[in-house]
Each structure stands twice: as structure tokens, then as C-alpha cells.
Amino acid sequence: MRSLSVRRKALLEILEQNDLYSQEQLQEQLHRRGIETTQATLSRDLKALQIVKGPTGGYRLPQQKAVPASSLQGILSIEFAGQNAVIKTQPGYAAAVAARIDHRPCAAIMGTLAGDDTILLVLRLGFSPEEVLENLKPIIPDILEYLI
């Protein structure tokens, strides 16, 4: 299961950083990161992550369906519980938002786990919700609007 999450996280990072137009290009980028995969597995990953080809033929992340890549639209709420937080998103947005959070170093957040519309933030010990929100502001500038 670990290889699945590592591969999918790498796939999201690759697509955030590159304009790619074929599965062969995606496989090559994964290979450069030491991740070997078949075309069939790659197809399943693209489907599971709701990555589609856009009008210009390039692959697009879920949040790019209706908004620019630089925007983090789709967030509905954030709620804290102990050393965890849960971010709710519109369906299909969670993986892309989690990838953005994971891609930027954040002292207060150890990591994320994303489903279709929910992200679990695992927080480091000793950080308050206020500190976590401050750490998220560079990634999600209007995060305070979503606090429950």
C-alpha cells in the first residue's frame, strides 16, 4: 500500500510542476524518481486521482477543472481535534489540496492523508491550532474563513 501512496503523491507533484501530454511522459518522470509502473497502473492512478486531459491535451489536476492552478478553491471547512485537523473539500479536490500542503514545508504539520473530499492533517506535538493556521496561510491565504 505504501508504494501506491508514494506513487500517487509523486504523480500529483509531477503534474503540479510540469505540463505533460502522454502517459509515456508521466512514466518517464516517475522513472526519474525511481518509481516504476505499468501503463495499466498509471491509468488506474489517473482515474483514482480524477486527473483528466484538458482542452489543450495536457493532464490537469482536479482543482484545475474550474479554477486556475494557482488557486486553492474547493475548500469547505477546517476543524481541529487534538493533534489532528480535518479539511473538508468539494469532491475531487482533496488530493490536490493535500499535495500543495505536503509540497511546502510546514513546521506544524507532519503530513496529510487525502481521500476524495477529506484531508486528515497530522499535526506535530506542541503546536496550537492557531500556529497551524498561521503555517497554512502561505498555502491557503483565506484559511481562517473556513474554520469551524
pLDDT per residue over 54-83, tens digit each?
777 788 876 544 333 334 567 888 999 988
Bridge-partner residues for 43, per DSSP?
none
Kind and range of the H or E element at 5? helix 2-17
CATH number of the domain bearing residue 49? 1.10.10.10
pLDDT one-digit tens code per residue, 7-16:
888 888 888 8
The model's confidence at residue 102, banded by pLDDT at 50, 70 and 90, is confident
In a domain? residue 92: yes
Question: If you average pLDDT over every residue of the chain, what do you get?
Answer: 84
**What pLDDT does residue 67 have?**
37
Mean pLDDT over residues 95-108, rounded?
85
Mean pLDDT over residues 133-137, rounded?
89
Instruction: Tell me the residue range of the domain where 81 lies.
Output: 75-146
In a domain? residue 44: yes
Kind and range of the H or E element at 58? none
In a domain? residue 45: yes
pTM value? 0.53
In a domain? residue 20: yes
**What pLDDT does residue 146 have?**
83
What is the crossing angle of helices 39-48 and 23-32, to 10°? Answer: 100
> Total domain count for the chain?
2
In a domain? residue 88: yes
